[in-house]
Structure 1
Amino acid sequence: VDNWGRRKLLLFGPFLQTLSMAIITFGATGLPLRFVGLVTVVSFSVFVVSFSAGLGAVTWLYLSEIYPMEIRGSALSACGVINWLSCFSVVFGTRFLSLHSACHLFGTISGVGLLGVYLWVVETSGCNMDDSPLTPRS
């Protein structure tokens, strides 16, 4: 994480997630039937690996670095609650979607997340742990 930087990993993960879901949603329809299964399995594998390397690993490190010490505990608790509520929604919501619809939804959400990371995430590598890089300096 320190070699690549948090921002690069947070951009790299959602980019590959969006790409893999787009391949399943749009790309697999024009392939010969004998390749559809292989492309789908590889795309899902890329999705899982890119999530693990990007959003899954770096998010909690990044969140612990951006909040000032005074509110860090409460802020991370709130982030944990939001994370679990999101996971709950995904687990119970996807059962009502087809594979195509679920991949389209996850790809869209990953793409919006990629845009959000690009616009609003600052690099925190090398910053002092006591000071948030988002806190205004006096």
Structure 2
Amino acid sequence: MRTLLNLIWLVLSGFWLFLGYVAAGVVLCILIITIPWGIASFRIGVYALWPFGRTVVDKPSSGAFSFLGNVIWVILAGWWLALAHIISGIALCITIIGIPLGIADFKMVPISLAPLGKEIVPTGGGEFDQARARRA
């Protein structure tokens, strides 16, 4: 089911959101001092390309610098990307089939506003979790 949702997502909005994150990442990497934000943009762009089966969690090692970095991120690129998620989420919710995708799009707004101090990990129920359970 995740693969089907990811394929539908990719066609309807994922590719375009990915391009937005890549454009923001390229601009931020050109400005040399903002390379860490550019790398974060690329990381979230890959997540926006194929989101189902993964989730965002807080990094336990993040601190005050992540907060300050997120403030700079919102000013440089975050609010544009959050606006793109909101617009595409509303467009997806117009059809019944698109409602779950629109909800997923709305769930990406917080990470588009504050990506530093976050980590993208696989969700439960897959082969990854079964292998981890065997090792424990």
Common topology (TM > 0.5): no
Length-normalised TM-score, structure 2: 0.28
**More contact order relative to length (CA 8 Å, sep ≥ 6):** 1
Length-normalised TM-score, structure 1: 0.28
| Structure whose alpha-carbon radius of gyration is higher | 1
- Judging by fraction of residues, say which structure has more strand: 2
